[in-house]
Amino acid sequence: MSCVLIQNGRVVDPASGRDEIADLLIEDGRIANPREASREGCQVIDATDCIVSPGLIDMRVSLREPGHEEDETIATGTAAALAGGFTTIACMPDTDPPTDNRAGAEFVILQAERAGNCRVVPIGAVTKQLKGEELAEIGQLVDGGARAFSDAKTAIANSEVMRRALEYTRMVNRPIFHHPQVPELVSGGLMHEGYYSTLLGLAPMPAAAETIMIHRDLSLAEMTRGKLHLMGISTAAGVEQIRQARSRGVQVTADVTPHHLYFLDKDLQSFDAQYKVNPPFRTEGDRDALIEGLKDGTIDAICSDHQPYAEEKVSCELDQTPFGVVGLETFVPACITQLIETGQLTWLQLLSKLTINPARILGIERGTLAQGTIADVTIINPRTSQRIDPAKFRSKGRRTPFEGMMLTGRIELVIVNGQVRYRHQPA
């Protein structure tokens, strides 16, 4: 019988509302009652002054394999996820070929098992080849393990295709993860449309591109009663649209990234590509609205939107480099520094966005420390500060807007299926 005893930690479990100093016992890969079970022969872990959380879940990670292994592989991406505190990640279908059939979904699961790091849940493509024209084999992808459907960063512009996608996925009880953006309005754009885009002479990406598409998606979700998840909300108006739709009973959830809670359009004055993301960084008012959306529950989850690229792909002019930054290994310190240290969220509120809410959206039995559940556990040191050094990342990607910043918090230990898979090693 395998046994792990985590002592003296602050156990925070949003699924049950639990927040207390307590011991946590793991027996044979499951959470056990520390008062009833024998502790003899247990591996003891001292979690004094640390947060003991359900294993973190990231619903939006691009792993690039197959097709672009120079950017990231499932092995390197899951190693980075472990170091970031994640026990489960959902893999976007933006590979080559895309994950638009059963074999593709099964390949992701098999490669993750071989890597032996964290668990990987495949997200299937909504349309074949991510072209937005013909629905992928939804039923076959479900059989292959897909827990949700998305065309990743490619917005589904055809409203009839989106309608049918919501209808089909409703029948298999799966959500559509959509990138809410009108493609024609952002074509060639580099940053948020506003004062700084005019000042810098950079092609704009207007906020209306997001809000127009959100309005369409919400209308279709309301009509079809399908499950809609809006990825990477970046505008104050978008948050308000979602808030109102939820009050009408629309089945919609939403997420935001840690970097959109920090950075603004003015940061691109440096012309540094580490601030080039999609959707773009917007105004201070937009950023404040995103934080307010997290506080009142309008925004359900925080996702890394991990977008790794090989060095040669990001070492070029701003208009030539692809959108996106890596986010797995900076995720927790960024959230602690911006949301916990500032008093914007409590630990129960923050961890709900990283554990039980993503688990419910994906429809997986994870994100809790309830007795009898599979033991996925993340131990967080909430006080230690660290300077972000991309050279130490386990991911192949190195581009991050947090480079060189002092952030608070560190992942100390990660347990997956009752086994210690990651332990912080002092330099």
Contact 390, 403 (CB under 8 A): yes
- pLDDT computed for residue 25 by the predictor: 95
Predicted local confidence at residue 383, as pLDDT:
94
pLDDT tops 70 at residue 305: yes
pLDDT for 41-86, tens place per residue?
889 999 999 999 999 999 999 999 999 999 999 999 999 999 999 9
Residue 38 has pLDDT above 80, yes or no: no
Confidence bin at 113 (pLDDT 50/70/90) = very high
> Amino acid letter at 2?
S
pLDDT at 40: 73
Mean pLDDT computed over 99-106: 98
What is the mean predicted confidence (pLDDT) over 317-326? Answer: 96
Which domains occur in the chain, in start order?
55-362 (3.20.20.140)
pLDDT digits (tens, 9 = 90+) for 186-202: 999 999 999 999 999 99
- Predicted pLDDT at 1: 59
**Mean pLDDT value across the chain:** 97
Residue range 333-372, pLDDT digits in tens: 999 999 999 999 999 999 999 999 999 999 999 999 999 9
Which sequence positions are flagged as catalytic?
305
Quote the CA–CA distance of 149 and 169 in Å, as a whole number: 8
Q: Provide the pLDDT confidence category of residue 2 given band limits of 50, 70 and 90.
A: confident
The pTM of this model reads: 0.97
Cis preceding-peptide flag for 66 (omega within 30 of 0): yes
Q: Are 394 and 79 in contact (CB under 8 A)?
A: yes
Whole-number Å distance between alpha carbons of 71 and 246: 38
Gap between the Cα atoms of 282 and 248, Å rounded:
28
Label residue 26 by pLDDT band (50, 70, 90).
very high
In this prediction, residue 37 carries a pLDDT of: 57
Q: Are 51 and 379 in contact (CB under 8 A)?
A: yes
Name the band, by pLDDT with cuts 50, 70 and 90, for residue 156.
Answer: very high
Give residue-wise pLDDT tens across range 200-256.
Answer: 999 999 999 999 999 999 999 999 999 999 999 999 999 999 999 999 999 999 999
